[in-house]
């Protein structure tokens, strides 16, 4: 089947455009009816041909046409006109299309709907807004621009994953990431390896970073399940629709965009350089003599450079349009040796046949991406560990320049480092960067083809197919001769080679008909098939089990069978078949009713009684502005309500857990098979209002939603007293409710000066109303990713994302209990961990502005989050080693003033030696309560300043834009010791915590784009 | 037009409705897993399960580090880490940091398999395999109760979220009953070769040897409860000796488990990770006795201050940097080529019989003879000569210890006890000799040595210098147990509270378990 698809679009690509003979020249001027101003950019086509042009800056055009030709004049926002050629100049006034306010949005399954008819919240960003910040991963360009969206960037630098939540998390265990759809086809957002916890773990990237941002025409965010009912369970977390650029009739365009950006570190943990190394050979701490020591950290970081160069060519006639683009992104990180290189090639062609009744679109996206020395998470192989802890007063340059020395006996280079590998594998940062390199290569192919056949005016049949394939090879080659904790005597080799692919096909019949004057009907009937395999392949890690010969990195050289435990794997497999129907009924353009139903058959529910499940949605929209005569300042008013139910299947293999082969034993299945399973059910209610005032210069949209997720599939950590480690329950009732408000205004709108401003407000509350009888009233650890005195527990009455940490032991009056030496006591071993807050913000506010003055344009985005907590394991660890400014200040003051009580209730007040204090309170399993920060932050997320050179229409260069671009420029407010938006994992664990994550960086640069 | 419509409808519906969900089952089964059906071949779900338990009686992989090496091995003062884990505030300095794995590894790798036996009625259908499994279970689980005190045992598997703990007394009672069942069942299969293909132990499937091991284990457990229930202890000990298959008497009877081609975990900790070293107590005792096993157990130090000497680290001292002590004596090179780990040996049995005889029990010989036998067996086990000269040494005592890095850690020999048996000595002194020699012979099984130290107070170990327990553990009283796992408090709070209640004291390292009465030895 897929061979056929590929063949068919190859065929389509091969079709040549047909030239048409011309016999007369017609020219003229087109002006705007209301103002009489010349109208540039109007498409002028000879009807029935591919022959066309567009008007210049003065509204003039000239075109060779055949005899008895008719010109079709069209432009978005204006009424299309057909003018017969009668000889002589043609001067036409074009009237604005009053319906143009009712912009058309692409909704689920690529179905185009008038925005006014939508019964749910949708927000669209144009390509400018998406690519403005010139982010390597376009998803990060959405930050702060869309209400209801929370985005956290991964910590692995360019090519890392992005954690995106629409309307908060509702799934306790399964992913809360939204569905991404490219041109109507669900895209597999492959992430085969996610970092979690504190030791390591690799972020494989999530596939979004594969996309060339310059190919994006627009992005529409459908926030709730209501919008996404037609995508089924995949759309339960919301949908982000990406529409890619395509060629336009009659215009041949070449766009070149070139960006050079510089990334620099502007903040890292507040370290001290005035107390020296602890007076013991090989110490990894700095509890020594006071002095004035060199800051070795500043010079370590590089200035990262990002070069993004893209070219696109597009054009076409009224039968065929073509879009081609190539982009190269090259980036070096602030971490030396980190390098990212990506090549994107996109080819898209649309052709029409049989009097435009058959439309064939094919689209191929190729990505080749290579990342060298991607940052790994946590302690292991993290150069920042050695960098930040490096005992003060020793000669860092000496270790930097001579990070390796020859071991003459073995004739190999070994690490030169004053700290003998401690249990966190503290190593020379330069050894890590140069001698334990990792490289990740990703190749991706996405081929889409769609056919649309207009059967009659009312009836259209379309079919789509897509094949999306990714192979990723990851290797790490750690040389012999450094930390024995993570590398064997002879080195360590990690090899992973996995593929992921998805085949998708659907067929949709649409029916559009007006009944009489008042009734408008829109119906969809369709079916879809989807087969997806993620992360199938081989994964081998020799860890410290050993290699036969030193520094030879291949699988054959691995000793120790343990390296092969779980070597062959597949993360997940899914076949899903669906049938769906949707009907929209419009009455007098003022009342719209939307009904849909979907039935899915999912392979992951096999072995249960419920592999088939049906769910409906309904929505109602009312437009008072159409129904009544409203005061003049109200240009548009709309009220909407919708309800949707979405069922979600469970992860692969859970209904039939089987045994695994381990090196030493039959790894018996430790999951209790769960065949009484029901699909998860999510009910969403949404109410909203959209208004536009003062000739639509002000727009306002507000939505209230409530999402109830029931019967969640929960793998619960079984207690040790049972023969299983994991039990599944179909339980839980998690409720999200919140408000999203967008407010936008064209503050100024004159010929020379415009200022557009937009506010996005998001508030989401989450409540775990119920787990089930068995698990209510206790703490349940659902997913991994905690440790070191930090956990996220699921507790009835709590919220998803609740953070629990090691806390101070306190007496009944809340006094901190200290030991005899005055060091506070950790409460965990007697009282368990304590709830200190939630990872999610209380509300978020984005303020986006774009201002233009003549040819100068300026934009800035201020992004803020209020509330939520953030935990820094980095600070805790560094405090225990006396590496932070906090510990230096304490030493300056002679110690830490502690007021508490002893275990027997005797009050204690005194100055405690700083080292004793921070060794007890800080450190790996220290009292994390001290290291919980308010995550509130306000930042200048994005800033651009550009100049548009408008050139004469007949010049070779049509337009040239030069702009300065800056991202993450500074914080107006931030209490956390790092960027609290960093996320180690895109999963539900390890949220709002950092452990030697990257320093905060800002980037700025220059973009040059030219149109020809 | 109609034709087209029909075609569409047929196509659409055929795409989804006539689809086959038949392949769903196969597609939703992990292709790289092992199905239960395939395990039925060759009895891999019966004997294969016992085989799977074997590597976890004494964990053969890295899990052993926090399970035993940083707990029992340190508390018995066999091995001490040079590494200041967790800013040096860890188990070794009495700030309990690792106390989960001692429970979880055994429940996940021993109890889970036995639980599967219960579910599959293996006790009825394959009583010999069930009996064999029981021996593995008791070997493994007594370590768990010895660590914590009350544990989940009789009610194991009764509920998914609440399993009450049993008192240690109840657990020991069940141990004896399970050994009864195992021994009596296996007696009917004494010549069976059913176990051969599944047995990765030194017994190679020999059922009689397994019965002998079960009897020896009974003796070990009987002696453990001697202070809390002397009559049951005597009764069980004599039962072990009286059994027709007897107990381990030669080194051929030793129970050892294959490493399955993997590196010995202690070699990994010592050589690869450099996280474990000889203790100062080892240096004091074996050094003072000029014990020929010392150079077998350990390598000379390479630290420039003490190069060539056998130099140990005192447990529970101030360590700021791993460099300070890392070049003290590492574990002996015999571990580099080890192919198995030791579970229980004839020398331990001899020392148990020596103590039994000392207590006047019918052990089939005299305390003196068994004492000499124990030493001889241990010398043989480690391929060292000179046992008789050693046994005749009536002058050597524990040596003084000097810490070249920090004199505060130095100490004088903690005991004047000598090696040679002295029939005129008090029972207490005789016991000290027996347990001291047993301590030496048990190496490297620190967990058992720590239990016996707690029971008898021997050998005279050295208190920690820094004690970060926050007053919970008395330095002079030493650590008495492992606190219940924090994981139990987090997800099984109701259950662990029953354990705390049965413990009869606060859940910390200072509370004594049931058999650890703190009373005098006689």
Q: How far apart are CA B216 and CA B249, in angstroms?
A: 10
Q: How far apart are CA A1007 and CA A238, in angstroms?
A: 32
Give the mean pLDDT of chain A. Answer: 85
Does A925 contact chain B (CB < 8 Å)? yes
Q: What is the mean pLDDT of residues B273-290?
A: 95
Q: What is the mean pLDDT of residues A333-359?
A: 90
Q: Note the pLDDT of residue A13.
A: 37
Do the Cβ atoms of A521 and A585 come closer than 8 Å? Answer: yes
Q: Is the pLDDT of residue A785 over 70?
A: no
Q: Is the pLDDT of residue B309 over 90?
A: yes
- Listed range (A465-469, B74-78, B140-144) with the worst mean pLDDT: A465-469
Residue B203 belongs to some domain of the structure: yes
Judge: B39–A659 Cβ closer than 8 Å, yes or no. yes
Hey, what's the torsion of the CAs at B385, B386, B390, B396, to 10 degrees? -90
What DSSP element (H or E) covers A690? Answer: strand A680-693
Do the Cβ atoms of A594 and A522 come closer than 8 Å? Answer: no
pLDDT class for A962, splitting at 50, 70, 90? very high
Q: How much is the ipTM here?
A: 0.83
Instruction: Provide the shortest C-alpha distance from residue A601 to chain B (in Å).
Output: 8
Residues ≥6 apart with Cβ < 8 Å to A777? A796
If one counts the domains in chain B, the total is: 1
Does A22 contact chain B (CB < 8 Å)? no
Does B324 contact chain A (CB < 8 Å)? yes
For residue A549, the cross-strand partners are none
Does B364 contact chain A (CB < 8 Å)? no
Give residue for tokens 């703990």: B165
Do the Cβ atoms of B19 and B11 come closer than 8 Å? Answer: no
Cα separations in angstroms, B516 against A804, B149, B227, B480: 36, 10, 8, 8
Residue A159 is encoded by which pair of tokens?
A: 């090519």
Identify the closest residue of chain A to B9 by CA–CA distance.
A509
A-B contacts (CB, under 8 Å): 290
Query: In terms of pLDDT, which residue wins out, A384 or A105?
Result: A384
Q: pLDDT, tens digit, for every residue of B418-431? A: 999 999 999 999 99
Please state the pTM of the whole predicted model.
Answer: 0.83
Residues ≥6 apart with Cβ < 8 Å to B437? B351, B371, B374, B375, B378, B419
Among B325, B491, B493, B511, most A C-beta atoms within 10 A, so best to mutate, is B491
Domain assignments of chain A as residue spans, ordered by start: 2-98, 104-801+839-874+936-1011
Fold for the domain defined by A2-98: Immunoglobulin-like (2.60.40)
The beta strands (E) that lie in A1-59 are given as 24-32, 43-46, 52-54
Judge: A666–B30 Cβ closer than 8 Å, yes or no. no
- Give CA A237 to chain center in angstroms: 13
CATH of domain A104-801+839-874+936-1011: 2.40.170.20
HSE at residue B347, side-chain half, CA atoms within 13 A, is 24
Chain A residues with CB under 8 Å of B272 CB are 484, 488-489, 544, 546
Q: Note the pLDDT of residue B1.
A: 45
Q: Is the pLDDT of residue A498 over 90?
A: yes
Q: Note the pLDDT of residue A794.
A: 84
Query: In terms of pLDDT, which residue wins out, A96 or A317?
Result: A317
Judge: A601–B493 Cβ closer than 8 Å, yes or no. no
Judge: B28–A653 Cβ closer than 8 Å, yes or no. yes
Identify the closest residue of chain B to A481 by CA–CA distance.
B272
For residue A966, the cross-strand partners are A943, A1004
Neighbouring CB atoms inside 10 A of A933's CB total: 19
pLDDT class for A273, splitting at 50, 70, 90? very high
End-to-end CA distance of chain A: 40
Hey, what's the torsion of the CAs at A783, A785, A786, A787, to 10 degrees? 130
Give residue for tokens 């209904």: A655
Q: How far apart are CA B433 and CA B139, in angstroms?
A: 26
Q: What is the mean pLDDT of residues B97-113?
A: 92
Residue B522 belongs to some domain of the structure: no
Q: Note the pLDDT of residue A956.
A: 78
**Where in the sequence is the domain holding B223, given as residue range(s)?**
42-503
Q: Note the pLDDT of residue A227.
A: 65
Quick one: DSSP state of residue A300? G
Q: What is the mean pLDDT of residues A207-235?
A: 79
Q: What is the mean pLDDT of residues B3-23?
A: 54
Q: Is the pLDDT of residue B328 over 60?
A: yes
Judge: A721–B163 Cβ closer than 8 Å, yes or no. yes
Q: pLDDT, tens digit, for every residue of A560-575? A: 777 887 788 898 899 9
Identify the closest residue of chain A to B59 by CA–CA distance.
A664
Chain A residues with CB under 8 Å of B119 CB are 723
For A168-186, the DSSP string reads S---SSS--PPEEEETTEE
Does A529 contact chain B (CB < 8 Å)? yes
Do the Cβ atoms of A938 and A973 come closer than 8 Å? Answer: yes
Going by C-alpha positions, the residue among A848, A866, A740 that lies closest to residue A144 is A848
Q: How far apart are CA A915 and CA A926, in angstroms?
A: 13
Q: Is the pLDDT of residue A16 over 70?
A: no
Q: Note the pLDDT of residue A513.
A: 87
Among B10, B30, B66, most A C-beta atoms within 10 A, so best to mutate, is B30
- Listed range (A21-25, A73-77, A395-399, A542-546) with the worst mean pLDDT: A21-25
pLDDT class for A781, splitting at 50, 70, 90? low
Residue B403 belongs to some domain of the structure: yes
The beta strands (E) that lie in B211-302 are given as 255-258, 277-278
Q: What is the mean pLDDT of residues B236-248?
A: 97
Q: What is the CATH number of the domain that holds B474?
A: 1.25.40.390
pLDDT class for A356, splitting at 50, 70, 90? confident
Residue B11 belongs to some domain of the structure: no
- Using CB atoms, pick whichever of B55, B113, B485 lies closest to residue A668: B113
Q: What is the mean pLDDT of residues A30-37?
A: 74
Chain B residues with CB under 8 Å of A652 CB are 28, 30
Q: How far apart are CA A826 and CA B262, in angstroms?
A: 38
Residue A538 is encoded by which pair of tokens?
A: 């081989």
Answer positive or negative: Cα dihedral of B248, B249, B253, B256.
positive
The C-alpha angle with vertex A168 and arms to A165 and A174, in degrees rounded to 5, equals 70
Does A656 contact chain B (CB < 8 Å)? yes
Does B490 contact chain A (CB < 8 Å)? yes
Q: Note the pLDDT of residue A288.
A: 92
Please name the residues between 795 and 834 in chain A that touch chain B, using a CB distance below 8 Å: 819-820, 825, 828-830, 832-833
Percent of chain A whose pLDDT exceeds 90: 40
Give the mean pLDDT of chain B. Answer: 92
């Amino acid at each position: 089947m897929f061979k056929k698809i590929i063949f068919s679009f190859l065929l389509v690509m091969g079709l040549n455009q047909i030239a048409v003979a011309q016999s007369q020249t017609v020219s003229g001027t087109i002006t705007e009816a209301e103002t009489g101003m010349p109208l540039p950019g109007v498409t002028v086509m000879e009807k029935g041909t591919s022959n066309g042009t567009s008007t210049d800056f003065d509204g003039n055009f000239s075109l060779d046409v055949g005899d008895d030709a008719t010109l079709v004049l069209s432009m978005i926002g204006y009424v299309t006109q057909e003018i017969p050629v009668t000889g002589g100049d043609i001067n036409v006034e074009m009237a604005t299309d009053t319906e143009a306010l009712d912009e058309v949005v692409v909704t689920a399954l690529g179905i185009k709907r008038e925005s006014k008819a939508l019964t749910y919240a949708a927000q669209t960003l144009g390509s400018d807004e998406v690519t403005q910040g010139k982010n390597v991963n376009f998803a990060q360009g959405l930050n702060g621009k869309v209400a209801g969206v929370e985005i956290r960037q991964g910590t692995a630098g360019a090519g890392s994953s992005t954690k995106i939540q629409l309307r908060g998390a509702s799934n306790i265990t399964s992913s809360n990431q939204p569905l991404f759809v490219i041109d109507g086809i669900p895209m597999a957002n492959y992430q085969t390896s996610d970092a979690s916890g504190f030791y390591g773990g690799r972020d494989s990237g999530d596939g979004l970073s594969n996309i060339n941002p310059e190919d994006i025409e627009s992005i529409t965010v459908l926030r709730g399940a209501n919008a996404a009912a037609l995508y089924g369970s995949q759309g339960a977390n919301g949908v982000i629709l990406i529409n890619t650029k395509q060629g336009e009739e009659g215009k041949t365009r070449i766009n070149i965009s070139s960006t050079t950006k510089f990334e620099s570190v502007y903040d890292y943990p507040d370290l001290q350089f005035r107390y020296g190394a602890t007076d013991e050979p090989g110490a990894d701490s700095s509890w020594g003599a006071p002095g004035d020591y060199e800051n070795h950290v500043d010079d370590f970081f590089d200035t990262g450079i990002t070069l993004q160069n893209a070219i696109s060519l597009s054009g076409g006639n009224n039968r065929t349009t073509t879009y081609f683009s190539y982009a190269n992104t090259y980036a070096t990180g602030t971490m030396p040796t980190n390098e990212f290189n990506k090549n994107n090639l996109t080819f898209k062609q649309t052709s029409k046949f049989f009097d435009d009744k058959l439309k064939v679109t094919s689209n191929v996206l190729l990505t080749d991406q290579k990342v060298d020395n991607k940052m790994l998470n946590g302690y292991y192989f993290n150069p920042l560990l050695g960098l930040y802890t490096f005992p003060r007063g020793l000669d860092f340059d000496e270790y930097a320049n001579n990070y390796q020395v020859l071991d003459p006996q073995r004739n190999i280079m070994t690490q030169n480092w004053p700290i003998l590998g401690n249990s966190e594998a503290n190593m020379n940062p330069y050894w890590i960067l140069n001698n334990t390199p990792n490289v990740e290569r990703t190749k991706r192919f996405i081929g889409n083809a769609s056919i649309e056949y207009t059967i009659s005016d009312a009836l259209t049949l379309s079919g789509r197919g897509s094949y999306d394939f990714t192979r990723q090879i990851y290797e790490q080659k750690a040389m012999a001769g450094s930390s024995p904790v993570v590398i064997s005597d002879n080195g360590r080799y990690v090899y992973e080679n996995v593929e992921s692919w998805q085949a998708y096909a659907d067929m949709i019949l649409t029916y559009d008909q007006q009944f009489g004057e008042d009734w408008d009907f829109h119906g969809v009937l369709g079916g879809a098939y989807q087969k997806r395999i993620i992360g199938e392949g081989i994964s081998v890690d020799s860890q410290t089990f050993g290699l036969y010969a030193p520094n030879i990195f291949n699988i054959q050289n691995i000793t120790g069978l343990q390296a092969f435990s779980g070597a062959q794997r597949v993360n997940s497999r899914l076949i899903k078949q669906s049938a769906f129907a949707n009907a929209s009924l419009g009455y007098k353009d003022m009342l719209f009713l939307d009904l849909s139903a979907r039935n899915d058959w999912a392979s992951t529910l096999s072995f249960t009684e419920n592999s088939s499940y049906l769910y409906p949605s309904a929505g109602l929209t009312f437009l008072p502005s159409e129904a009544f005569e409203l005061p003049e300042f109200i240009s548009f008013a709309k009220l909407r309500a919708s309800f949707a139910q979405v069922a979600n299947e469970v992860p692969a293999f859970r209904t039939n857990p089987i045994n695994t082969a381990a090196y030493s034993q039959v790894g018996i299945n430790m999951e209790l098979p769960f065949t009484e399973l029901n699909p998860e059910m999510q009910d969403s209610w949404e109410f909203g209002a959209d208004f536009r005032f003062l000739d639509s210069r002000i727009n306002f949209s507000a939505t209230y939603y409530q999402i109830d997720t029931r019967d969640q599939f929960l793998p619960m950590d079984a207690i040790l007293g049972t023969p299983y480690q994991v039990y599944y329950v179909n339980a839980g009732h998690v409720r999200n409710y919140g408000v999203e408000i967008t407010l936008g205004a064209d503050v100024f709108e004159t010929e020379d000066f415009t200022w557009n401003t937009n506010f996005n407000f998001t508030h989401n509350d989450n409540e775990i109303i119920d787990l089930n009888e068995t698990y209510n009233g206790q703490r349940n650890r659902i997913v991994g990713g905690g440790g070191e005195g930090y956990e996220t527990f699921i507790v009835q009455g709590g919220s998803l994302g609740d953070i629990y940490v090691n806390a101070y032991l306190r007496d009944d009056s809340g006094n901190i209990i200290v030991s005899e030496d005055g060091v506070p006591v950790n409460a965990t071993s007697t009282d368990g961990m304590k709830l200190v807050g939630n990872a999610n913000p209380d509300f978020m506010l984005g303020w986006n502005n774009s201002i233009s003055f003549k040819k100068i344009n300026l934009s800035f985005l201020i992004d803020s989050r209020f509330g939520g907590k953030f935990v820094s394991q980095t600070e805790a660890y560094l405090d225990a080693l006396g590496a932070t400014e906090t510990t230096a200040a304490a030493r300056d003051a002679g110690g830490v003033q502690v007021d508490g009580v002893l275990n027997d209730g005797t009050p204690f007040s005194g100055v405690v030696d700083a080292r004793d204090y921070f060794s007890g309170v800080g450190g790996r399993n220290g009292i994390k309560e001290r290291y919980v920060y308010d995550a509130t932050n306000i930042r200048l997320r994005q800033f651009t300043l550009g100049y548009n050179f408008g050139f004469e229409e007949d010049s070779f260069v049509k337009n040239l834009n030069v702009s300065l671009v800056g991202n993450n420029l500074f914080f107006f407010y931030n209490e956390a010791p790092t960027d609290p938006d960093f996320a180690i994992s895109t999963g539900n664990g390890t949220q709002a915590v950092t452990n030697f994550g990257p320093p905060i960086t800002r980037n700025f640069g220059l973009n040059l784009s030219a149109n020809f | 037009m109609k034709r087209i419509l029909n075609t569409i409808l047929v196509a659409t519906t055929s795409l989804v409705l006539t689809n086959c969900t038949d392949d769903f089952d196969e597609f939703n089964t992990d292709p790289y897993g092992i199905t239960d059906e395939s395990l039925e071949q060759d009895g891999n779900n019966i004997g294969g399960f016992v085989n799977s338990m074997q590597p976890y009686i004494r964990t053969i992989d890295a899990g052993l580090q926090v399970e035993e090496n940083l707990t029992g091995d340190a508390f018995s003062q066999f091995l001490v880490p040079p590494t200041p884990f967790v800013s040096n505030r860890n188990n070794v300095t009495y700030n309990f940091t690792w106390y989960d794995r001692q429970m979880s590894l055994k429940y996940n790798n021993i109890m889970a398999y036995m639980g599967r036996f219960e579910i599959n009625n293996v006790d009825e259908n394959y009583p010999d395999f069930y009996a064999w499994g029981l021996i593995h279970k008791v070997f493994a689980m007594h370590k768990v109760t010895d660590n914590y005190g009350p544990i989940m045992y009789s009610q194991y598997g009764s509920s998914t979220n609440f399993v009450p703990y049993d008192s240690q007394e109840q657990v020991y009672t069940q141990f004896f009953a399970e050994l009864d069942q195992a021994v009596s069942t296996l007696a009917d299969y004494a010549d069976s070769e059913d176990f051969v293909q599944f047995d990765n132990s030194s017994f190679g499937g020999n059922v009689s040897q397994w019965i002998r091991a079960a009897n020896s284990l009974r003796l070990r457990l009987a002696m453990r409860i001697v202070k809390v229930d002397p009559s049951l202890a005597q009764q069980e000990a004599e039962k072990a000796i009286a059994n027709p298959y007897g107990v381990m008497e030669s080194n051929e009877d030793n129970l050892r488990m294959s490493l399955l081609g993997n590196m010995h975990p202690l070699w990994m900790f010592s050589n690869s990770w450099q996280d474990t070293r000889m203790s100062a107590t080892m240096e004091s005792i074996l050094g003072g006795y000029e014990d020929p096993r010392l150079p077998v157990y350990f390598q000379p130090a390479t630290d420039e201050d003490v190069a060539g000497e056998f130099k140990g680290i005192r447990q529970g001292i101030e360590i700021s940097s791993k460099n300070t002590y890392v070049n003290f004596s590492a574990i002996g090179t015999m571990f580099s080529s080890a192919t198995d780990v030791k579970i229980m040996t004839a020398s331990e049995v001899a020392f148990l019989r020596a103590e039994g005889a000392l207590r006047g029990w019918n052990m089939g010989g005299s305390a003196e003879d068994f004492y000499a036998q124990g030493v001889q067996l241990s010398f043989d086990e480690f391929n060292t000569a000179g046992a008789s000269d050693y046994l005749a040494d009536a002058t050597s005592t524990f040596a003084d210890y000097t810490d070249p890095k920090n004199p505060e850690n130095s100490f004088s020999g903690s005991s004047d006890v000598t090696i040679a048996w002295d029939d005129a000595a008090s029972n207490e002194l005789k016991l000290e000799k027996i347990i001291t020699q047993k301590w030496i012979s048990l190496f490297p099984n620190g967990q058992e040595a720590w239990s016996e130290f707690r029971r008898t107070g021997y050998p005279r170990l050295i208190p920690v210098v820094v004690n970060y327990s926050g007053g919970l553990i008395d330095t002079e009283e030493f650590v008495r147990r492992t606190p219940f796992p924090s994981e139990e408090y987090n997800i099984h709070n109701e259950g662990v509270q029953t354990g705390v209640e049965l413990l009869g004291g606060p859940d910390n390292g200072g509370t004594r378990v049931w058999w650890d009465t703190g009373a005098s030895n006689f």
